[in-house]
Amino acid sequence: MEEGEIVREIIEEKEKKYLAPYATLSVNSQGRDIPEEPDLIRTCYMRDRDRIIHSKAFRRLKHKTQVYISPDNDHYRTRLTHTLEVNQIAKTIGKALALNEDLIEAIALAHDVGHTPFAHTGEDVLNNLMEKGFRHNENSVRVLTKIEKGSLGRGLNLSKEVLDGVYHHSGFGVSKQSAQTLEGQIIRYSDKIAYVQHDIDDSIRAGILKEEDLPQEYIEILGDTHSKRIATLVTDLIYYSKERLEKDHKALISLSPEVEKALVGLRKFMFEHVYKGEICSVERERAMFVVEYIFKYYMKNPDKLPDFYLEIAKEEGLERGVADYISGMSDNYCIDLFKELVIPKSLV
């Protein structure tokens, strides 16, 4: 490399040369809300990825529940290990389709930073208590743009394509709006591929499910083991999307109809028997009680909020400040705070 050469520009030229014509090039980014001087080494999406991975919200994912609340067994997934599995699956798909892996990685690492303690249980509580509701994908964008502290103040000032991918990662079905980029669309599928399969794996480990409990009409299509199901889904998504994109560069990332039906069916089974099922109901009710108590406590005692969240409450309303505080908590922090608020000091 010659003296004075800008490494970022070399990487950007490689993107133009090697990525697919329908890939999102770094040089074509819509930019950031606050313009910044380009980095000498990193493209805009590489820079975003680094900001996300060094954020406090990302680090807290290691102590946030995926499905099983505060498990003693280290082999259960947490929100952080889920995020890493999504990243790995998404980058495999992205590489096979010659898409921008740096953009994929940035979205994957950021997609769940707005999740509450106790997984969707905490989300459901805040959604029921807040006048305008609460959705973790919207909150992830809020964390990245208003809560995390960057060099320019509140927010990490990420590229618009990353925020768009984070916002559109949640939900499933044709009625849901897709991310603008193919890279963002990959995260939405990778999220479902990851959590449906690894939550089955954790449920079997916990003794809540057995392999033979899984609906056979879907297992026959996807495979009878964890690894086979992931391989089927990833392979199908790659080949089906590749075939469609080669005919039409504006086609969306998708599974073939048969495989998508099987994934949707297996996901529905998990919602009915695990996520919303009776077996986990006791733990869910306890978690809901804790989150609801803390929410109502700070709504009655706003002066007890930490200064940062009290400032948000003054600017955007008390509900918003309390929700921001709670959604950033890890499971253990939430439980410890509940104990501090409820249990007499003499008994601690």
Instruction: Tell me how far CA of residue 17 lies from CA of 43, 103, 161, in angstroms.
Output: 15, 17, 21
Given a contact cutoff of 8 angstroms between Cβ atoms, the answer to whether 202 and 217 are in contact is no
Dist. CA 270–CA 278, nearest whole Å:
12
Per the structure block, which two tokens stand in for 164?
């768009």
β-strand partners of 154: 149
Q: Strand 149-150 relative to strand 153-154: parallel, antiparallel, unpaired?
A: antiparallel
3-class DSSP string for the chain: CCCCCCHHHHHHHHHHHHCCCCCCCHHHCCCCCCCCCCCCCCCHHHHHHHHHHCCHHHHHHHHCECCCCCCCCCCCCEHHHHHHHHHHHHHHHHHHCCCCHHHHHHHHHHCCCCCCCCHHHHHHHHHHHCCCCCCHHHHHHHHHHHHCEECCEECCCCCHHHHHHHHCCCCCCCCCCCCCCHHHHHHHHHHHHHHHHHHHHHHHHCCCCCHHHCCHHHHHHHCCCHHHHHHHHHHHHHHHHHHHHHHCCCCCCCCCHHHHHHHHHHHHHHHHHHHCCCCCHHHHHHHHHHHHHHHHHHHHCHHHCCHHHHHHHHHHCHHHHHHHHHHCCCHHHHHHHHHHHHCCHHHC
Domain boundaries, the chain: 7-113+148-278
Dist. CA 192–CA 260, nearest whole Å:
11
- Closest CA relative to residue 16, chosen from 32, 1, 30, 28: 28
The CATH class for the domain spanning 7-113+148-278 reads: mainly alpha
pLDDT along the chain (348 residues), means of 10: 78 98 98 96 98 97 83 79 97 98 98 95 96 97 96 94 97 76 98 95 90 96 97 98 96 97 96 83 90 98 98 98 98 95 77
pTM of the model: 0.95
Dist. CA 61–CA 130, nearest whole Å:
23
Given a contact cutoff of 8 angstroms between Cβ atoms, the answer to whether 125 and 284 are in contact is no
Maximum separation of any 2 CA atoms in the chain, in Å: 71
pLDDT, one tens digit per residue, over 257-288 is 999 999 999 999 999 988 887 777 888 899 99
Q: Residue 268 contacts by C-beta under 8 Å, 6 or more apart in sequence?
A: none
CB atoms within 10 A of CB 31: 12
Q: What's the pLDDT at 278?
A: 78
Dist. CA 334–CA 118, nearest whole Å:
9
Given a contact cutoff of 8 angstroms between Cβ atoms, the answer to whether 252 and 185 are in contact is yes
Q: Residue 143 contacts by C-beta under 8 Å, 6 or more apart in sequence?
A: 57, 113, 114, 327, 328
